[in-house]
Structure 1
Amino acid sequence: MDDRANTIAGWALAGGIAALGLSILSGEYFKAERPEKMGYVVEGVEEEGEAGAAEAEKPIAFYLASADPAKGADVFKKCAACHNAEKGGANALGPNLWGVLGEGVGQGAHGFAFSDALKSKGGTWDWQNLSDWLKNPKAFAPGTKMTFAGLSKPEDRANIIAYLNQQSDAPRPMPAVPAEAAAPAAEGAAADNGAAPAEGGNEAAPAAK
């Protein structure tokens, strides 16, 4: 009786081991047939997203329209270790920046020894190329001696440019917002006005300040 019970138990154990083995083998087979990542690959989506991020920044004139020179003075504190923007101020590690807008790129009248990389750029400092320089000096003039990493936020660059514009004997009028940059803002304002609730529609609009 004991032998028969042992035989039955042995067969049951062997059957269990065999079933387990088949389960593992079938699982490995179907895993090999299954893609690593579920779902479909949509070509170009990631690239379009990256391109959209790169194109999100508008021309600097758009940000200059609402720039605040006082905030720019605060941002300029990041530059104060190497520059000053005082009339008649001495050069430091970097050149004096009084009247920089309209000045020749790398050709300042303050007697500073600019790098060949910057002197070779040519032209004069304007709103856009000053923004490009402040955003990434090494990209603007590869080989520049300036070690500052740059200001990534266009609002910070606009504020500091507005501040530097005031540090001059003849500050320039702020540039007009380009039509292609102003159009989306105008459309957004029109959409907001169109979505206003009817209730209170007879109320007078607040006076412009």
Structure 2
Amino acid sequence: MGIRTLAILIGVLLTSASSAQEVGDAAAGEAVFKKCITCHAVGDNARNKVGPVLNGVVGRTAGTFPEFRYSEAMVKAGEGGLTWTPENLAKYLHSPKELVPGNKMSFAGLKEQADIDNVIAYLATMPATPQ
């Protein structure tokens, strides 16, 4: 193996290790999610509340959960291609009004990156549809 190939391999491994560290802790995220349960539901028998059910939100197009009345801003964001990737969820959870101006979520956002990472990890464990 040449030095260049070895350097590329080391770079890939370091990038993968860095990404793995940024994933978050689902158990800690469950505790953070308690800030969200007034408006959102997850898990078995979850139903829309003031906000939509968040089962399967990771990877979902914005503004598309069935039978929830989204703001026009959120529907347009989804139609414009906004998908709830972990990166977009992190931006939204930090500042909902900044990522989707005009959305109706009144929550100001989470300020700690660890809390954001953890709640995303928790949401990623939810099934795509309520049971």
CA distance in 2, matches of 1:169, 1:148: 24
2:45 maps to 1:64: no
TM-fit CA distance, 1:88: 3.6
Q: What is aligned with 2:47? A: 90
Which of 108, 123, 128 aligns to 1:164? It is 123
Per-residue CA distance 1:176-207 (angstroms, 9 max, x = gap):
xxxxxxxxxxxxxxxxxxxxxxxxxxxxxxxx
Distance 2:93 2:21 in 1: 14
* 1:63 shift after superposition: 5.4
Q: Summarize deviations over 1:36-80 as a string: whole Å, max 9, x none.
A: xxxxxxxxxxxxxxxxxxxxxxxxx57533x11010000000001
Structure with the bigger RCO (C-alpha within 8 Å, sep 6+) is 2
Letter aligned with residue 139 of structure 1: E
- How many residues are treated as equivalent by the alignment? 108
Unaligned runs of 5+ in 2: 1-18
Q: Match of 1:150?
A: 109
Q: What SS does the corresponding residue of 2:87 show, helix, strand or coil? A: helix
Query: TM-score, normalising length from structure 1?
Result: 0.49
C-alpha separation in 1, matches of 2:20 and 2:73: 29
**Quick one: distance in 2 between partners of 1:168 and 1:155?**
23
Give, as a single letter, the amino acid of the residue that structure 2 aligns with 1:118. M
Q: Aligned partners of 2:87 and 2:44: how far apart in 1?
A: 24
Report the Cα offset of residue 152 of structure 1: 1.2
4+ long deviations beyond 2 Å: 61-65
Q: Percent identity?
A: 41
Rg comparison, structure with higher value: 1
For 2:41, give the aligned amino acid.
Answer: N
CA distance in 1 between partners of 2:32 and 2:51 (Å): 16
Contact between 1:64 and 1:162, CA under 8 Å: does it hold in 2? no
Distance 1:144 1:169 in 2: 23
Give the Cα–Cα distance (whole angstroms) in 2 for the partners of residues 91 and 141 of structure 1. 20
Residue matched to 2:94: 135
